[in-house]
């Protein structure tokens, strides 16, 4: 629904707190990670507001972080399926041009049979990742400019820029998204992308030679081939002056794509909140991203994810001190540690505002939220609800 005819001015401030990969499953008889965690502050917010479960894309669909965040910001994630390569490029301030093909890369480990044994090469640190990127910068391909840039830890950016031919971006991931199998071959999904697939194959051949003696990062995986889209900004869509506090490049890229101010902040939650406080008076929509819940889930570390949730809970009073008129706490998807990956399970959400119809939920967890007053809803509707609670939407119709 186009909300622009309904938008109205308001001084209200909206805060979205996104705990990446928040949702989980009960695999140990302890409840989910969120239910096992001690969360008195989140529980208090839940008891004062409305709760529910969201589907980032649709029931049964496992979302990537890109679609999950696009939905949270009110953009249909299917209609606006932005490739990870573009989000990564924007997240590190790479000057991406129309027609460029961008992909997110992981350094990985292949075993002696050429099969993936670690998709993240032991999560090598950023200094090691930068050293390896410098080696890959020597790669040259015919009739195309090749850009390889470090991102964070094991992640890097690949951009192909052609001055002669219009490249397509419909190339499958070479990341098989599991271990025990070889990387996938890059294959074009359309005629226009045939040349791109050929260039990617040539790039990977050189990578294999360059990294052959490296340990543990002896190869790379590529995913999210994409080109720069044109999207309506948060201000154009909702009349909001947005600000993002995120340490990881991809989420900074999503925010930048939607016209938010991306504030430099440190890598930890305390630094993000310090930056949030400094930016508070200048914006009416603020997005705070917390990554550790997802990282620990992907590591299969139940107790580590519990600890990350408890760290977030301890920070909630600092956020409440800022007196947001509307606060939304949720995740972009579920990452159960039992699966060590993203999953299709719906994500708990709470909305706290003076105008909430308070439900009977008193703790913030998946089981409790399943009976909350918000019900089970597409995540893309959270923005509409936040705008309504902020007094930013007029009545629809006569």
Residue 151, in any domain of the structure: yes
Say if residue 274 is in the same domain as residue 257: yes
Question: Does 163 lie in the same domain as 32?
Answer: no
Distance CA 109, CA 120 (A): 7
395 within some domain: no
Strands 242-245 and 285-290: parallel
User: Would you say residue 44 has pLDDT above 90?
Assistant: yes
Residue 255, φ and ψ in degrees, nearest 5: -60, -45
Q: Pairing relation of β-strands 375-378 and 50-55?
A: parallel
- 239 with 219, same domain? no
Asked whether residue 70 falls in the same domain as residue 184, the answer is no
- Tell whether 396 is covered by a domain: no
Residues whose CB falls within 8 Å of the CB of residue 197, separated by 6 or more in sequence, listed in order = 171, 186, 187, 188
Task: With respect to residue 281, please indicate whether it lies within any of the assigned structural domains.
Answer: yes
Q: pLDDT confidence of 202, banded at 50, 70, 90?
A: very high
pLDDT at 70 over 80: yes
Q: Based on the fold, state whether residues 93 and 189 are members of the same structural domain.
A: yes
Hey, what are 292's tokens?
A: 């550790």
Task: State whether 314 and 366 are in the same domain.
Answer: yes
pLDDT value for 27: 87
Are 124 and 218 members of one domain? yes
Task: Reply yes or no on whether the pLDDT at 267 is more than 80.
Answer: no
Report whether pLDDT(350) > 90. yes
Backbone angles phi, psi at 375, to 5 degrees: 70, -155
CA distances for 390 relative to 12, 185, 187, angstroms: 5, 49, 47
CA gap 75, 80 in Å, rounded? 7
Residue (of 37, 33, 36, 38) closest to 22 by Cα position: 33
Q: Same domain, yes or no, for 150 and 296?
A: no
pLDDT at 117: 97
User: Which of 226, 251, 268 is the endpoint of a domain?
Assistant: 226
Look over the chain and give the mean of its residue pLDDT values, rounded to a whole number.
96
Q: Around 394, how many Cα atoms within 13 Å sit in the side-chain half-sphere?
A: 11
Using alpha carbons only, give the angle 162, 119, 67 rounded to the nearest 5 degrees. 65
222 lies in the same domain as 236: no
Q: Which domain CATH number covers 62? A: 3.40.720.10
Q: Are residues 282 and 243 in contact, defined by beta-carbon separation less than 8 angstroms?
A: yes
Give domain status of residue 103, yes or no.
Answer: yes
Of 226, 261, 284, the last residue of a domain is 226
User: Tell me: the pLDDT tens digits for 277-294?
Assistant: 999 999 999 999 999 999
Q: Domain boundary residue among 185, 205, 226?
A: 226
- For 365, the token pair is 């967890």
Question: Using 50, 70 and 90 to split pLDDT, how confident is the model at 216?
Answer: very high
Residues 105 and 184 placed together within one structural domain of the fold: yes
Question: What is the per-residue pLDDT across 93-140, written as a single tens digit (0 to 9) for each?
Answer: 899 999 999 999 999 999 999 999 999 999 999 999 999 999 999 999
- Statement to judge: residues 368 and 236 lie in one domain: yes
299 found inside a domain = yes
Residue 69 lies inside a defined structural domain of this protein: yes
Half-sphere exposure of 111 (CA within 13 A, CB side): 9
Contact 238, 260 (CB under 8 A): no
* Range(s) of the domain holding residue 239: 4-81+231-389
Domain CATH code at residue 105: 3.30.70
- Report the b/e string of 214-240 with b at 16+ CB within 10 A: bebbbbbbbbbbbbbeeeeebeebbbb
Residues 55, 129 within the same domain:
no
Contact between residue 128 and residue 139 where contact means Cβ atoms under 8 Å apart: no
pLDDT value, residue 367: 97
In a domain, 290, yes or no: yes
Instruction: Tell me the pTM.
Output: 0.84
The tally of domains found in the chain comes to 2
Question: By three-state DSSP, how is residue 220 classified?
Answer: strand
Using CB atoms within 10 Å of the CB of residue 187, give its burial: 0 to 12 exposed, 13 to 18 middle, 19+ buried: middle
d(CA 290, CA 332): 11
Instruction: Tell me which residue has tokens 């499958």.
Output: 172
């Amino acid at each position: 629904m186009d909300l622009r005819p309904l938008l109205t001015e308001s001084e209200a401030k909206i805060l979205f707190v996104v705990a990446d990969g928040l949702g989980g499953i009960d695999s140990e008889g302890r409840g989910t990670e969120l239910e096992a965690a001690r969360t008195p502050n989140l529980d208090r917010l839940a008891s004062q507001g409305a709760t529910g479960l969201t589907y980032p894309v649709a029931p049964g669909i496992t979302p990537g972080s890109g679609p999950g965040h696009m939905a949270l910001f009110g953009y249909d994630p299917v209609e606006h399926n932005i490739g990870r390569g573009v989000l990564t490029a924007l997240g590190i301030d790479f000057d991406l041009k129309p027609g460029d093909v961008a992909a997110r890369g992981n350094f990985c480990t292949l075993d002696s049979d050429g099969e993936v044994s670690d998709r993240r090469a032991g999560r090598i640190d950023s200094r090691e990742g930068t050293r390896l990127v410098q080696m890959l910068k020597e790669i040259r391909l015919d009739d195309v400019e090749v850009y390889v840039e470090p991102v964070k830890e094991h992640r890097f950016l690949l951009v192909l820029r052609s001055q002669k031919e219009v490249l397509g971006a419909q190339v499958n991931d070479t990341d098989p998204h599991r271990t025990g199998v070889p990387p996938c071959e890059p294959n074009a999904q359309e005629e226009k992308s045939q040349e791109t697939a050929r260039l990617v194959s040539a790039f990977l051949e050189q990578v294999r030679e360059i990294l052959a003696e490296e340990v543990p990062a002896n190869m790379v995986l590529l995913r999210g081939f994409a080109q720069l889209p044109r999207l309506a900004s948060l201000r154009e869509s909702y009349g909001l002056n947005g600000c993002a506090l995120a340490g990881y490049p991809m989420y900074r890229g999503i925010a930048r794509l939607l016209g938010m101010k991306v504030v430099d902040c440190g890598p930890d939650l305390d630094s993000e909140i310090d930056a949030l406080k400094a930016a508070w008076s200048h914006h009416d929509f603020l997005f705070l991203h917390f990554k550790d819940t997802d990282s620990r889930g992907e590591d299969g570390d139940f107790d580590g994810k519990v600890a990350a949730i408890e760290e977030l809970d301890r920070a909630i009073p600092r956020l409440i001190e800022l007196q947001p008129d509307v606060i939304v706490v949720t995740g972009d998807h579920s990452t159960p540690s039992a699966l060590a990956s993203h999953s299709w399970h719906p994500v708990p959400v709470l909305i706290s505002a003076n105008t909430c119809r308070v439900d009977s939920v008193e703790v913030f967890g998946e089981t409790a939220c399943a009976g909350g007053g918000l019900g089970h809803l597409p995540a893309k509707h959270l923005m509409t609800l936040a705008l309504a609670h902020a007094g930013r939407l007029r009545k629809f119709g006569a």
